[in-house]
Amino acid sequence: MLQNDLLLRTLRKEKVERPPVWLMRQAGRILPQYREVRASVDGFISLVTNPKLAAEVTIQPVDELNVDAAIIFSDILVIPEAMGLPYEMIPGKGPFFPKTIQGASDVADLVYGDEAAQRLGYVFEAIKETKKGLQNRVPLIGFSGAPWTLMSYMLEGQGSKTFSKAKAFLYRHPVEAEMLLDKLTETIIAYLKLKIAAGVDVVQVFDSWSGVLDQDIYRKYMIPRLRQIKEAITEVPVIFFSKGAWFALEELAAINPDAIGLDWNIPIDVARQKLGHDQVVQGNLDPCKLYATPEEVKNYTLKMLEGFGPNHIANLGHGVYPDTQLDTVKSFVNTVKGYKY
Amino acid sequence: MLQNDLLLRTLRKEKVERPPVWLMRQAGRILPQYREVRASVDGFISLVTNPKLAAEVTIQPVDELNVDAAIIFSDILVIPEAMGLPYEMIPGKGPFFPKTIQGASDVADLVYGDEAAQRLGYVFEAIKETKKGLQNRVPLIGFSGAPWTLMSYMLEGQGSKTFSKAKAFLYRHPVEAEMLLDKLTETIIAYLKLKIAAGVDVVQVFDSWSGVLDQDIYRKYMIPRLRQIKEAITEVPVIFFSKGAWFALEELAAINPDAIGLDWNIPIDVARQKLGHDQVVQGNLDPCKLYATPEEVKNYTLKMLEGFGPNHIANLGHGVYPDTQLDTVKSFVNTVKGYKY
């Protein structure tokens, strides 16, 4: 069906000719086409909730960069919104929740599971639009935030350096924290299943703030929920990206994800030592390396490809930064596309 | 001379009866005494630059918490200030530099080395005051930011989630970046030597933002400068705390620091595996664990002490958070003080 199924073959551990390549946040401000669409609407959330435009910006990097996968343009914070905590996106500042979780009754009040997920019709519409527009050129990735990362925002109300409010909730209200994590897990599963029903070929779970936790906490509260998600999603491959959770890589691998995303902190040899060469991994060039010249980016990329060897999906170790020059992004993508195992 | 020289004996790897204990940011908002002094002055920087008051708040935790060391109340950003980039402290937001490094000429213009360090007379005065006030009860720790962390602020002008401006400078202007790092290194050494001359018994170098770098960059640019600092400071023990730089622990150890600070991300067994049992380490309880009950804090602390074994300085894995309850801080300190190897 798919004209380019390199990502899917890699996720199935088939022998492939080269690594597939895509970039986290590829549908975004690095593209002039995106900035044009973005300027035509009133705010980021208007774009997220508009299926036609969300599909358009999702497809842009496939056209412009020739990447091997599209990832649906959306935001991880649509889940808290569907559960009853709407967010705003404050320009130059980031997400903000006027209402946050303060205690047990707020957790009890949350809508969750299928009921919450059903509220996100605009995402599923965007997926259907995108699939139509892609015309089977490349696979489409759907995504969700992980329970901990979503919980963080629901407690903090915004980004944080320490996430000490969210972590304090874990220590001071462990029962309510587990209840919240469970409601989130159920919602994430329902949401991913509806995304799959709408047409995504792969899903990725972003645990963007796992790096503020320690091994004991991640092991006790988060790993079991990630396992629950993996076990529930049997329809398509699942990629886990737990940023900063180098201390939990072996435990993540034990969940048996189809791929594990890696940030740039993890030296490649350490990652392979921890995970072995059979584990499909994704990443992990520092997005800041794209501030170098296109020629230097080529060298950094080749070094990464050589380092990982097979069972690798080429990507950055985090979302591409909005002020990255397009020529270095293209150097990254084209270096991977010109590579041969 | 010192009535309590447990920290110094531990740093000399002598056999001691229990680990010494102190907390990063112990002189600060967790203490009602501090909040009182702080309320009496106009802004954080007025306190930093007032030797009498800085000495007073430095001694407060020794009186109130009975910790085994004092650490001079100051800020790592006095160095950029002395080099020509003054900072402001914006309440609820953090440090802000009205002027930042934009390019080569800004780096060339910086005052550095002894000339810059000599401008920080108020710090050396505060140290002398503190030594007088402490009356040899416990050792006094002096500190500095590490070259990379100070460079980050001088480029970014404030805290950042990604430090992509500072990192971009490394990739786009490597020559100027090295020049800046060299000037910082010279200034740090001169500054620490003047602190030692004024009376500090130990120094700690904080690399608060090392966790945003990757191994290659840390290895190439930062490790040589940390080594230079260690080799220059022969008068007193040197502790390095490179937060988030778990990927560089072995290289840090090769510099031969008297102790290595550890953040809470690093599982204790992994740290000991990487560094061995003879390396003196400092840390690493997650400051958020102090949000638990005093009884739970006791258990967390005991688990940490058992985990590290000897050659350990008990501390948190980061500065204590301002909203931490005093009873849990005391539970942490008293658990260490009641412990016997």
Residues linked to residue A310 through DSSP beta bridges, in sequence order: none
B288 → closest Cβ in A168, A264, A292:
A168
Q: Give per-residue pLDDT as tens, A275-303.
A: 999 999 999 999 999 999 999 999 999 99
Minimum CA–CA partner of B216 in chain A: A267
SS (H, E, C) B156-220: HCECCCCCHHHHHHHHHCHHHHHHHHHHHHHHHHHHHHHHHHHCCCEEEEEECCHHHCCHHHHHH
Please judge whether A264 and B214 are an interchain contact, meaning their C-beta atoms are less than 8 angstroms apart: yes
Please judge whether A164 and B323 are an interchain contact, meaning their C-beta atoms are less than 8 angstroms apart: yes
* Mean pLDDT for all residues in chain B: 97
- As a whole number of angstroms, the distance between CA B339 and CA B305 comes to 8
Minimum CA–CA partner of A319 in chain B: B162
E strand or H helix at A71 = strand A70-71
CB A133 within 8 A of CB A56: yes
Which residues in chain B are closer than 8 Å to A266, comparing Cβ atoms?
Answer: 247
A292 → closest Cβ in B171, B288, B292:
B171
Q: Is the pLDDT of residue B93 over 90?
A: no
Mean pLDDT calculated for residue range A127-139: 98
Q: Give per-residue pLDDT as tens, B154-191.
A: 999 999 989 999 999 999 999 999 999 999 999 999 99
Please judge whether A164 and B288 are an interchain contact, meaning their C-beta atoms are less than 8 angstroms apart: yes
Which residues in chain B are closer than 8 Å to A210, comparing Cβ atoms?
Answer: none
- As a whole number of angstroms, the distance between CA A159 and CA B65 comes to 32
E strand or H helix at A283 = strand A281-285
Residue type, A99: K
Minimum CA–CA partner of A210 in chain B: B265
Residue type, B5: D
Residues linked to residue A283 through DSSP beta bridges, in sequence order: A314
pTM: 0.97
DSSP A2: -
Burial of A17 (0-12, 13-18, 19+ CB in 10 A): exposed
B168 → closest Cβ in A214, A246, A288:
A288
- Domains of chain A in start order, with CATH, are 34-276 (3.20.20.210)
Please judge whether A267 and B246 are an interchain contact, meaning their C-beta atoms are less than 8 angstroms apart: no
- The half-sphere exposure of A164 on its side-chain side, counting CA atoms within 13 A, is 16
Mean pLDDT calculated for residue range A191-201: 98
Lowest mean pLDDT among A84-93, B20-29, B279-288: A84-93
CB atoms within 10 A of CB B64: 18
Percent above pLDDT 70 for chain B: 100
Which residues in chain A are closer than 8 Å to B267, comparing Cβ atoms?
Answer: 214-215, 247
How would residue B92 be classed by pLDDT, with cut points 50, 70 and 90?
Answer: confident
Please judge whether A171 and B323 are an interchain contact, meaning their C-beta atoms are less than 8 angstroms apart: no
Cα A211 from chain centroid? 15
Q: Does the beta carbon of A239 lie under 8 angstroms from any beta carbon of chain B?
A: no
- As a whole number of angstroms, the distance between CA A209 and CA A226 comes to 14
Q: Which residues contact B318 (CB under 8 A, 6 or more apart)?
A: A162, B24, B243, B263, B264, B286, B287
Q: Is B272 a catalytic residue?
A: no
Pairing of strands B70-71, B140-145: parallel
How would residue B332 be classed by pLDDT, with cut points 50, 70 and 90?
Answer: very high
pLDDT of amino acid B204? 98
Which residues in chain A are closer than 8 Å to B165, comparing Cβ atoms?
Answer: none
Q: Is the pLDDT of residue B196 over 90?
A: yes
Mean pLDDT calculated for residue range B238-254: 97
| ipTM of this complex | 0.94
Which residues in chain B are closer than 8 Å to A321, comparing Cβ atoms?
Answer: 162, 164
Which residues in chain A are closer than 8 Å to B170, comparing Cβ atoms?
Answer: 288
CB B41 within 8 A of CB B88: no
pLDDT of amino acid B91? 87
pLDDT of amino acid B4? 98
Q: Is the pLDDT of residue A93 over 90?
A: no
Task: Provide the token pair at B104.
Answer: 């080569």
End-to-end CA distance of chain A: 25
A:16-75 residues touching chain B, CB 8 A cutoff: none
Which of B46, B67, B44 shows the shortest CA–CA distance to B122?
A: B46
Minimum CA–CA partner of A321 in chain B: B164
Helix (H/G/I), strand (E/B), else coil: A7:
helix
- As a whole number of angstroms, the distance between CA A48 and CA B313 comes to 50
Q: Which residues contact A80 (CB under 8 A, 6 or more apart)?
A: A86, A87, A97, A150, A153, A154
- As a whole number of angstroms, the distance between CA B241 and CA B245 comes to 9
pLDDT of amino acid A91? 87
How would residue A1 be classed by pLDDT, with cut points 50, 70 and 90?
Answer: confident
Mean pLDDT calculated for residue range A73-99: 95
A214 → closest Cβ in B167, B217, B265:
B265
Q: Give per-residue pLDDT as tens, A2-18.
A: 999 999 999 999 999 99
Please judge whether A267 and B215 are an interchain contact, meaning their C-beta atoms are less than 8 angstroms apart: yes
Pairing of strands A70-71, B281-285: unpaired
Burial of B13 (0-12, 13-18, 19+ CB in 10 A): middle
Q: Which residues of A are catalytic, by number?
A: 25, 29, 38, 75, 153
Angle between helices B51-65 and B32-40 (to 10 degrees): 170
pLDDT of amino acid A92? 83
Q: Does the beta carbon of B267 lie under 8 angstroms from any beta carbon of chain A?
A: yes
Q: Is the pLDDT of residue A205 over 90?
A: yes
CB B310 within 8 A of CB A190: no
DSSP H helices in chain A:
6-11, 32-39, 44-48, 51-65, 78-83, 104-109, 113-117, 121-134, 147-156, 164-172, 174-198, 215-217, 223-232, 249-254, 268-275, 294-308, 326-337
* Mean pLDDT for all residues in chain A: 97
Which residues in chain B are closer than 8 Å to A167, comparing Cβ atoms?
Answer: 286, 288, 291
Please judge whether B164 and A244 are an interchain contact, meaning their C-beta atoms are less than 8 angstroms apart: no
pLDDT of amino acid B1? 87
Which of B335, B326, B315, B337 shows the shortest CA–CA distance to B71?
A: B315
pLDDT of amino acid B226? 98
